[in-house]
Amino acid sequence: MGMTMTQKILAAHAGLESVTAGQLIEAKLDMVLGNDITSPVAIQEFEKAGFQQVFDRTKISLVMDHFAPNKDIKAAQQTKQSREFANKYDILNFYDVGSMGIEHALLPEKGLVGAGDCVIGADSHTCTYGALGAFSTGVGSTDMAAGMATGTCWFKVPSAIRFNLVGQLSGWASGKDVILTIIGMIGVDGALYKSMEFTGSGLASLSMDDRLCMANMAIEAGAKNGIFEVDDITIAYMKDRVQKPYTIYQADPDAQYDAEYTIDLSTIVPTVAYPHLPENTHPASESKHISIDQVVIGSCTNGRSSDMEIAAKILKGKKIAKNVRAIVIPATQKIFTECIQKGWMETFVEAGCVVSTPTCGPCLGGYMGILAQGERCVATTNRNFVGRMGHVESEVYLASPAVAAASALTGYITAPKEEN
Amino acid sequence: MQAKGFVHCYPDNVDTDVIIPARYLNTPNAQELAAHCMEDIDPAFPQKVHRGDIMVAGWNFGCGSSREHAPLAIKTSGISCVIAKTFARIFYRNAINIGLAILECEEAANRIQPGDEVQIDFDSGTITNLTQQESYQAQPFPPFIQNIIQKGGLMNAIQSKEDNTHE
């Protein structure tokens, strides 16, 4: 029986000719990732179990991004613990304040993940790297500890849902709007335990930033991973970044899927997910009745270069609405520098935004933009659960950078105009 | 292995942000995490939970972040088992890996009421509702996962495997 992209990668990493959905396997890992919240728990487990060495110091990435730069004393203890572990085991890819960025923007940018890789990360949005044609999935800290020690991880081979993308995106519609639309369609557990495999002629109109954003939110449909078929756009992205050999896996023509959907990208419109689930989607154009207090443009979902460019394009020469706070967070140091070089930084500041060093901070209600009781925020992030960005009676509306920027200017949820 | 306790009920899509809000993730200390368990969905939970109690919920329990702090907070608060219609996959893994008992059983989740006294036999997967005097059958774990649970979690399981390899 034919295999999906995900099944082929898992079979190759388990040393098997083929695998089938439901099979339990042990796979070799190409990268094990942790951040400043999940690594301390993993380090505790690693040390408690008495391990004396890591499986490969070049295949572990520790990124201090969630509560870093340290938001309080306890957060400082957690990055300190991670730093000491990284030094003790000479971890090659340890990214601290000054070199760090938001992990899922940073690893692809640094070329640390390539097509065909098998990656686990103690962060649910590790599924982002599926944009590169890798199998990549979020796990907990104990899996991370075991992965750091043994270089392997157990998996139940997932079945898959295939999304056949056709047509082209138009206007301000972006990858964010595509993935929000899909989650609205299949629900927050619509792909539970499964792979979401994205293929089709429509891929040609999706940039790597669009794909990274879409794969990032596969977890919001409950998926084990999201994965894109590798094409010329992927290969061009990897060309100057990925230094190691990579492998392109394509699904067999007779691969089995639990369901198949065809999505015409030309029908996708700017979309907003209302509180308190990412599946509560509505067109941005029908959301004018929702006034807002804050906008956040950034995160592992939408803090990349093209996200900054789109926000700057809409904000250029304009002013943020009264009583709206706009927080812009370029996801990595490289993107931060690009914002300066291209003049976007000046645009943001002159419009009345504040621009932060890379951090996950506000997305998960950590710091750098916490919401008060009753406040509403349009965020380019990935979750709008109860209390996600602050008070339990605050509200998060998920949207693209274009919608977030347009909303910042008006003070209510706004679909960007065509002439922008 | 058995569990017996009184039930706390929750709805569908209970996410890890309400199980343990991120504002408390600046510590890996299990006791501190347990003190804030379920705080944003059920503020009285840390006070009313008793050792051995059982949590019952709907679809997709534990969706959202990969934070292992979530099953850890539930386990440390004294909960002996979580029964749900389905679990989000990372939560499912994490619970097994840290030794928090979980069972998927739609019928039990539909029938059990808050405050019911429930007994669970993990070997057979049988859930007995002592209050309503009825029982439900959950799927037992596959042997691979039973082995992890029997060894007391993933780290113990891989250690005993490595020991065997070196012998």
Query: Which is higher by pLDDT, B139 or A288?
Result: A288
Q: What is the mean pLDDT of residues A75-82?
A: 98
Contacts of B68 (CB under 8 A, 6+ apart): A38, A41, A122, A140, A141, A142, B94, B97, B98
- C-alpha A119/C-alpha A33 separation (Å) is 8
* Cβ–Cβ below 8 Å for A146 and B158: yes
- C-alpha A177/C-alpha A399 separation (Å) is 7
- In terms of Cα–Cα distance, which of A219, A224, A183 is closest to A7? A224
Give the Cβ contact number of residue A285 at 10 Å.
15
Question: What count of residues does chain A have?
Answer: 420
Per-residue model confidence as pLDDT tens digits over A210-222: 999 999 999 999 9
Q: What is the mean pLDDT of residues A49-70?
A: 97
* Confidence label for B159 from pLDDT (cuts 50, 70 and 90): confident
Query: Which is higher by pLDDT, A286 or A420?
Result: A286
Query: Which is higher by pLDDT, A417 or B67?
Result: B67
Q: What is the pTM of this model?
A: 0.96
Q: Average pLDDT, whole number, for chain B?
A: 93
Per-residue model confidence as pLDDT tens digits over B69-94: 999 999 999 999 999 999 999 999 99
Task: Check pLDDT > 70 for residue B166.
Answer: no
Is ipTM strictly over 0.95?
A: no
* Cβ–Cβ below 8 Å for A142 and B89: no
Q: Nearest-5° angle of CA A29, CA A67, CA A388? A: 95
The shortest CB-CB distance from A142 to any of B26, B154, B162 is to B154
Tokens 């510590």: give the residue. B27
Per-residue model confidence as pLDDT tens digits over A81-131: 999 999 999 999 999 999 999 999 999 999 999 999 999 999 999 999 999
Q: What is the pLDDT of residue B165?
A: 57
Indicate where chain A has its CATH 3.30.499.10 domain(s): 5-265, 273-410
Q: Average pLDDT, whole number, for chain A?
A: 97
Task: Check pLDDT > 80 for residue B161.
Answer: no
Interaxial angle between packed helices B143-150 and B154-166, expressed in degrees from 0 to 180 and rounded to the nearest 10: 90
φ/ψ of residue A311, rounded to 5: -60, -45
* Cβ–Cβ below 8 Å for B67 and A45: no
Give the Cβ contact number of residue A328 at 10 Å.
30
Q: What is the pLDDT of residue B139?
A: 82
Take residue B164 and report the two structure tokens written for it.
Answer: 């065997």
Superfamily of domain A5-265: Aconitase, domain 3 (3.30.499.10)
Per-residue model confidence as pLDDT tens digits over B28-62: 999 999 999 999 999 999 999 999 999 999 999 99
Q: What is the pLDDT of residue A329?
A: 98
Cβ atoms B10, B70 nearer than 8 A: no
Q: What is the pLDDT of residue B167?
A: 44
Residues of B engaging A, defined by a Cβ cutoff of 8 Å? 13, 15, 17-18, 21-23, 25-28, 40-41, 59-60, 63-69, 71-72, 86, 88-90, 93-94, 97-98, 142, 144, 153-156, 158-159, 162
Sheet holding B102-104, edge to edge: B102-104, B81-84, B54-57, B2-9, B117-121, B126-129, B134-137
- Top residue of A81, A143, A393 to mutate, by most chain B CBs within 10 Å, is A143
Q: What is the mean pLDDT of residues A179-189?
A: 98
Residues of B in contact with A123 (CB under 8 A): 65-66
Q: What is the mean pLDDT of residues A184-192?
A: 97
* Cβ–Cβ below 8 Å for A392 and B63: no
Contacts of B48 (CB under 8 A, 6+ apart): B8
Nearest-CA residue of chain A relative to B153?
Answer: A142
Residues of B in contact with A66 (CB under 8 A): 25
* Cβ–Cβ below 8 Å for A364 and B17: yes
- C-alpha A158/C-alpha A223 separation (Å) is 9
In CATH terms, the fold of domain A273-410 is Aconitase; domain 3 (3.30.499)
* Confidence label for A1 from pLDDT (cuts 50, 70 and 90): confident
- Top residue of B89, B96, B151, B156 to mutate, by most chain A CBs within 10 Å, is B89
* Cβ–Cβ below 8 Å for A277 and B13: yes
Q: Which SS3 state, helix, strand or coil, does residue A194 take?
A: coil
Q: Which residues of B105-128 are buried (b: 16+ CB within 10 A; e: fewer)?
A: beebbebbeeebebebbbeebbbb
Torsion B161-B81-A127-A311 (CA) sign: negative
The shortest CB-CB distance from A37 to any of B67, B93, B155 is to B67
The shortest CB-CB distance from A123 to any of B59, B66, B89 is to B66
- Top residue of B27, B59, B68 to mutate, by most chain A CBs within 10 Å, is B68
Task: Check pLDDT > 80 for residue A157.
Answer: yes
- C-alpha A96/C-alpha B132 separation (Å) is 56
* Cβ–Cβ below 8 Å for B26 and A192: no
- C-alpha B77/C-alpha B67 separation (Å) is 16
* Confidence label for A419 from pLDDT (cuts 50, 70 and 90): low
Q: What is the pLDDT of residue B149?
A: 78
* Cβ–Cβ below 8 Å for B153 and A142: yes
Nearest-CA residue of chain A relative to B16?
Answer: A385
Per-residue model confidence as pLDDT tens digits over A335-368: 999 999 999 999 999 999 999 999 999 999 999 9
Q: What is the pLDDT of residue A420?
A: 52
Q: What is the pLDDT of residue A397?
A: 98
Tokens 């139940």: give the residue. A156
- C-alpha A406/C-alpha A298 separation (Å) is 15
Take residue B61 and report the two structure tokens written for it.
Answer: 């329990």
Least confident of A20-34, A73-87, B136-150: B136-150
Give me the total of CB pairs closer than 8 Å, taking one residue from chain A and one from chain B: 134
Take residue A106 and report the two structure tokens written for it.
Answer: 């940073």
Strands (DSSP E) found in B15-144: 54-57, 81-84, 102-104, 117-121, 126-129, 134-137
What is the number of alpha carbons within 13 Å of residue A59 lying toward its C-beta? Answer: 22
Nearest-CA residue of chain B relative to A142?
Answer: B97
Phi-psi region of B133 (alpha: psi -120 to 50; beta: other; left: phi over 0): left
Q: What is the pLDDT of residue A393?
A: 97
Q: Which SS3 state, helix, strand or coil, does residue B116 take?
A: coil
- Top residue of B10, B12, B17, B87 to mutate, by most chain A CBs within 10 Å, is B17
- In terms of Cα–Cα distance, which of A55, A30, A35, A220 is closest to A132? A30
Q: What is the mean pLDDT of residues A253-272?
A: 98
Task: Check pLDDT > 90 for residue B144.
Answer: no
φ/ψ of residue A161, rounded to 5: -110, 135
Residues of B in contact with A40 (CB under 8 A): 28
- C-alpha A130/C-alpha A118 separation (Å) is 10
Contacts of A400 (CB under 8 A, 6+ apart): A172, A173, A174, A176, A177, A270, A271, A302, A310, A380
